[in-house]
Structure 1
C-alpha cells in the first residue's frame, strides 16, 4: 500500500510555503528568540491540514494578540490625548484596531506574503483576504508578546500601527460638527462660536493641538487633534453634546 500513500500525498492540497521568516523579522524590526512562535502566528488553519510540518493554527495567538493590541493602543491614546473624551478615545481606538486597518497594514508592509496557506486557499485569493491578514497580524503581536514581553509588543505596535494613526483616522470622512454648532448657535443668539488654540504639544512632526470653543463668550467644549481643524471639530462635537444638541 506504499504506492497509495505516495499517490495520496501527491494529490493532497499542499501548504503554500512563504519565503524565509527573517523577512518578517525585518518588517517588525524584532528578532524572535523562538522563531516557532512566529511560524505559528503565520499558520492559517487551512495550511495545518495540508502540512506535515505545521503543528497548529494561529487562532490562539490571534486571541492573545487582539487583547494585547487593544490594551496598548488604549494606553497610548490615553497618555497622548489628555483632553480627549471617553467617546472619542473609544472611536479612535476602534479605527486603529479594526480588521480593515490591520489588513491594510499587513498588505502595505508585505506581511501577507509570509502567511502559510493551503494551495486551495491560495488559489481562492486567501492571501489578499482581509480577515486572514488581520488575524495573522494579531497572531504576530501575540507571538511577539510571548517571545519578548510587553515592551517588545508595545514597540512593534507603536511602529507598525500607532505611528500611522493620523493617516488611518483621516481616511475616515469626518462629520462637520463645526457646521452643526454654527447653525445651532446662530439660530438662538445670532453670534457665531469662537475657537481658540489653548495648547500645542509634541514635536513639529507629531504635534497635538488643544482647542476650546466659546459660545456667547463662555467655554462650551474642548477638543484635541493632530491639526487645528480636527481639534476644532472635536471641540464643536463636545460643545454640541454639552448644549443638548440632537440631529433630527
Structure 2
C-alpha cells in the first residue's frame, strides 16, 4: 500500500485514460494502483493483474460460447488466439498505457501486457463484472488481430489471412535413416522463400514460419518461442 498524496501529482491526467477506457472510477485509487508497477513503487498492481487475468478469460470465453465450436479443444484454441501476450500488448497500445504507467526498468512490453490486465482488474473491483465485461467486449472485437503465442505457424496463418498473402510449405528433401530422418522444408510467401532443416517435418515448418516472421514482418518475434 502507499499514500495517495505521495503520487497523485504524477497522475494529473488520468481522466484522459478514463475517457479512453469509457469508464469513470468511483475510487481513483484503484486506477492509480493499476498504473503503478511494483518496479517503481509498492502497490496492489500484481493483485489487480491477477484478478484482471481471470475476468478477461471468463469474459472472452463467455463471448465465444455462442460460436458453437465442435469440441473443447477448438474452443480452447480460439480462446488462446484472443487472450495472449500479443492481444494484450495491442490493447495496451490502443489505450496508450505507456503514457500513464509508472515503472522502472527496460522491459516495457512485458509491463504493458501486465498493466492491461491490471486495468481490467481495477475496473472489476471498482465497478463490478458488468463494467469490466463491457470494456472487454468493446476492446476485443472479433476482427482484432490476435496471435497464438508460441506458435509461429498460427501467427503466419492469421497474418496471411489479414494481408491476403499466399504461402506454401513444401518438403524439398528427406535424408537419413528411417529412425532419424532430416526434413528440409521450403516456405514460400508471395515472392519470399525461407528454407529450414530439422528432424521432424512439423518442427522444420515451425522454424521456417519463425524465420519468415523475423525477417519480413513487424510482428513480435522475440515473444514467439
Shorter-chain TM-score range: 0.5 to 0.7
Matched, 1:108 2:94: yes
2:76 corresponds to: 90
Q: Is the 8 A contact 2:11 2:32 kept in 1?
A: no
Structure-2-length-normalised TM-score: 0.59
Matched, 1:125 2:106: yes
Q: Deviations over 1:56-80 (max 9, x none)?
A: 140011001100000110011012x
* Secondary structure, aligned partner of 2:155: coil
1:66 corresponds to: 53
* Secondary structure, aligned partner of 2:16: helix
Q: 2:157 is matched with which residue: 174, 178, 191? A: 174
* RMSD (Å), alpha carbons: 3.0
* Secondary structure, aligned partner of 1:153: helix
Unmatched runs of 5 consecutive residues or more in structure 2: 1-6, 149-153, 159-225
Q: Is the 8 A contact 2:69 2:75 kept in 1?
A: no
Q: 2:62 is matched with which residue: 75, 78, 92? A: 75
Distance in 2 between residues matched to 1:165 and 1:74, nearest whole Å: 16
Q: Is the 8 A contact 2:86 2:146 kept in 1?
A: no
Aligned residues: 150
Unmatched runs of 5 consecutive residues or more in structure 1: 1-13, 50-55, 176-248
Distance in 2 between residues matched to 1:95 and 1:28, nearest whole Å: 23
Matched, 1:156 2:135: yes
Q: Deviations over 1:65-121 (max 9, x none)?
A: 100000110011012x0244322221121122112210121113312211112xxx2
Q: Is the 8 A contact 2:87 2:145 kept in 1?
A: no
Structure-1-length-normalised TM-score: 0.54
1:243 corresponds to: none
